[in-house]
Amino acid sequence: MGLNKEEILHATDRGLKVFTYFLRSNYPGINKPFKNPFYEDTKAACHVYFEKTSNQYRFIDFGDSSYNCDCFGFVALVFNLQCSNAEHFLQVMEIIDRELVLGLANNHDKIREITKQFPEVKVASEIESLTIADMRNNVSKKFIPPMFKDYSQTEINFWGMYGIDMQTLKKYNVVSLQRFYGTNKDGKEYQIESAVDEPMFGYLGKRFLKVYRPRSNNRFYYSGDLHEGYCFGLKQLPLRGDILFITGGEKDVLSLAARGFNAICFNSETVTIPKNLVRRLSFRFKHIVLMYDKDETGCKAMEKQVNQLKEFDVKMLLLPLKGTPQQKDISDFFKIGHTAQDLMKLFRDLLDVLYEETMSLLRSFEVDYDKAPAVPEAVIAINEVPIGSAGNLMAITGPEGSGKSNYLGAVLAGTMVAEGTEVDTLGTEIARNTTGKSVLYYDTEQSEEQLFKNLRQIVRRSGASRPPSWFKTYGLVGMGRKDRLVSILHSMDRFYYEHGGIHLVVIDGIADLIDGVNDEEKSVALIDELFRLAGIYKTCILCVLHLSPSGYKLRGHLGSEIQRKAAGILCIEKEEDKTQSLVKALKVRDGSPLDVPQIIMAWDDTQKFHVFVGEKDKARPQERKIEELSDIARHIFEREESLNYMKIIYELQERLHVKERQAKNYLKFMRDNHIIEALPGETNVYKLKIPPF
């Protein structure tokens, strides 16, 4: 048995995996609308849905009902095949099996596939055994088929001038002709003989023949059904590739193929290239490049085609040739001594022009191996572990009323402390602002009265009599959201130049700078801009945001972006003793948050602010790790009784913001300490062993 339709459907989740594989980033999900990839669609009216009657997924375009097919029909569209043709349908199944690495093809299928990749063996044997009488049924009866012959050494040498060998000629079904029979407009038959000084070759198709006489006045003749969609080299293309050249003629295609390039051509440079074909080829190739003759006709044709095919980002490559009959196409380019490396250099030069603006921008971000960057200065640290550093974002999070503002006040007070003076910064090391750079404190949540009280407490904690001139506090609660962000960005720039830099920026209530924490586009834009400015101003930007109900993630898309970009995240939560709060790390750039000491702070009624009580569980880090990982495990297994190894690793990475190696260590720790256990008879599937919530 060979490949089977039902077997493929079973292996691809009834065809869904086929759609997701070929649509890639264009596919938003089941039953969600998207634009048709097969034409320049303006409205998202396509869907992939499950059809119960056929028990498989289908693709449909409600804007164009002609696009309605299952996964096999979809692949046939991509590769210009017809499912109604048995041979084509087998090719479709082979493509799905190979591209999705299903491993369903048996040895017979694989041998057939290898044979198909090298059709010259089959074609050559057929040509040798066929007589003219046999060939009459394979071509239009209006013409008499030609007489084939073996290649002469002179003919081999002709192709050899362009680097085209016999293997390439056989692969592309290029034959040597002894005699060609044709019919003129009046219906009278004529014949042309091959000669040593006038060789004659044929580009052989299933139902047609294009005759090529390179050294004759009339170079081309046609026999059979040379349909309008003639495209030389199309069948020899691989399923996937990086560059596809569209050239002016068959000899150019052969010259490129002999050097490992992918290429096709149409019947002439002036033929309008079918958009449907280019659309399908754009699924398979990263770059489609026109490379016609370097003469007036070729250059004009390229400009016209590039304009007509601009929706597919088709590029145009002008060869550095004189444009004379001896120097006009890629075959001549190779004939005069240029190499495949020279062509690739021309292509890279083309990309340099197209990507000039991008590459110029990128150069300033290139890492210089010979010049190590300066290690970012730690602005905020715990036990010498950097949490917030220059050029990075930092976040503080926690439930309402947990003590975030009080901890924030201690951090800000630390920036005011004079050299040689010690104050209580709640167990946190704050870099002294010895050069008087700006410290900017923006609050979007508290009233002016409450913010003023907080500021007085900050100053009193620092031991100063009043805020320094470089310390600026702004209450933005009465300002519109758009104005808040603009005001922050403009004032940062202004004070950066006034005070010779920015030591620290605090934004308490960053969620109030956009319309909602789940607005993905605005969340990404906001965090990207703040991260960019942190790098430009070489400062730490500290953002305050509430936790999600799960207790391990920051709220919404905004929180997700902060978690990805922030170098450190601290969480503040109430202890069992409600007079105390716990400060613990959720993320640190280097290492594990479980290795950062947890700080306990408590309200001091005498001093009227929170004071440092000590580090929690300092003497028993093992017990702390068990407690923390047990809590995390309960969250991970809250909705599912069992999970596989990689799913647990993923969850640990997401929740603790650690690398895969550290997550694997944590999983082993959880298993060794009987937090989780493997299912009976399984080695990579686990369940929770400790009691759930």
pLDDT tens for each residue of 439-469: 999 999 889 999 999 999 999 999 889 999 9
Cα 562 to its chain centre, rounded Å, is: 21
Q: What is the C-alpha to C-alpha distance for residues 263 and 411, in angstroms, rounded to an integer?
A: 64
pLDDT of 105: 73
Q: In what side-by-side order are the strands of the sheet with 685-688?
A: 642-644, 685-688, 676-678
Residue bearing tokens 């890639």: 24
Q: What is the pLDDT of residues 295-314, one digit of tens each?
A: 999 999 999 999 999 888 89
Helix (H) or strand (E) holding 109: helix 107-117
Residue 444 has which token pair? 């979007």
pLDDT band at 157 (very low <50, low <70, confident <90, very high): very high
Residue 675 has which token pair? 């937090």
* Those residues with Cβ within 8 angstroms of residue 608's Cβ, 6 or more apart along the chain or in another chain: 457, 460
CA distances, 308 to each of 11, 245, 350, 471, 605 (Å): 40, 17, 20, 60, 77
Higher pLDDT pick, 593 / 633 = 633
Higher pLDDT pick, 615 / 471 = 471
Q: What is the C-alpha to C-alpha distance for residues 75 and 91, in angstroms, rounded to an integer?
A: 10
DSSP per-residue string spanning 338-388: --HHHHHHHHHHHHHHHTHHHHHHHHTT---TTSPPPPPPEEEEETTEEEE
| Alpha helix ranges (H) inside 418-519 | 448-462, 481-498
Q: Worst-scoring range by mean pLDDT, 179-183, 591-595, 652-656, 663-667?
A: 591-595
Q: What is the C-alpha to C-alpha distance for residues 691 and 693, in angstroms, rounded to an integer?
A: 7
pLDDT beyond 70 at 142: no
pLDDT band at 111 (very low <50, low <70, confident <90, very high): very low
Three-state secondary structure call for residue 691: coil
pLDDT of 133: 33
List the end-to-end C-alpha distance of the chain, in Å, as a whole number: 53
Q: What angle do CA 630, 631, 632 make, to 5 degrees?
A: 90
pLDDT beyond 50 at 424: yes
pLDDT of 618: 58
pLDDT of 138: 31
Across all residues in the chain, what is the average pLDDT? 85
| Average pLDDT value for residue range 563-581 | 87
| Average pLDDT value for residue range 512-520 | 87
pLDDT of 227: 59
pLDDT beyond 60 at 121: no
pLDDT of 241: 87
Query: Sign of dihedral through CA atoms 96, 100, 106, 108?
Result: positive
pLDDT band at 113 (very low <50, low <70, confident <90, very high): very low
Q: What is the C-alpha to C-alpha distance for residues 171 and 253, in angstroms, rounded to an integer?
A: 12
Q: What is the pLDDT of residues 244-289, one digit of tens each?
A: 999 999 999 999 999 999 999 998 888 889 888 898 898 889 899 9
* Those residues with Cβ within 8 angstroms of residue 27's Cβ, 6 or more apart along the chain or in another chain: 19, 20, 34, 48
Q: What is the C-alpha to C-alpha distance for residues 266 and 288, in angstroms, rounded to an integer?
A: 14
pLDDT band at 106 (very low <50, low <70, confident <90, very high): low
Torsion of CA 620, 622, 627, 633, to 10 degrees: 170
pLDDT beyond 60 at 563: yes
pLDDT of 156: 94
pLDDT of 15: 93
Q: What is the pLDDT of residues 60-69, one digit of tens each?
A: 988 887 889 9
Higher pLDDT pick, 225 / 15 = 15
pLDDT of 606: 86
Q: What is the C-alpha to C-alpha distance for residues 80 and 65, in angstroms, rounded to an integer?
A: 19
Helix (H) or strand (E) holding 503: strand 502-508
Q: What is the pLDDT of residues 315-367, one digit of tens each?
A: 999 999 998 988 999 999 999 999 999 999 999 999 888 888 887 877 777 77
Q: What is the C-alpha to C-alpha distance for residues 237 and 228, in angstroms, rounded to an integer?
A: 20
pLDDT of 228: 55
pLDDT of 621: 65
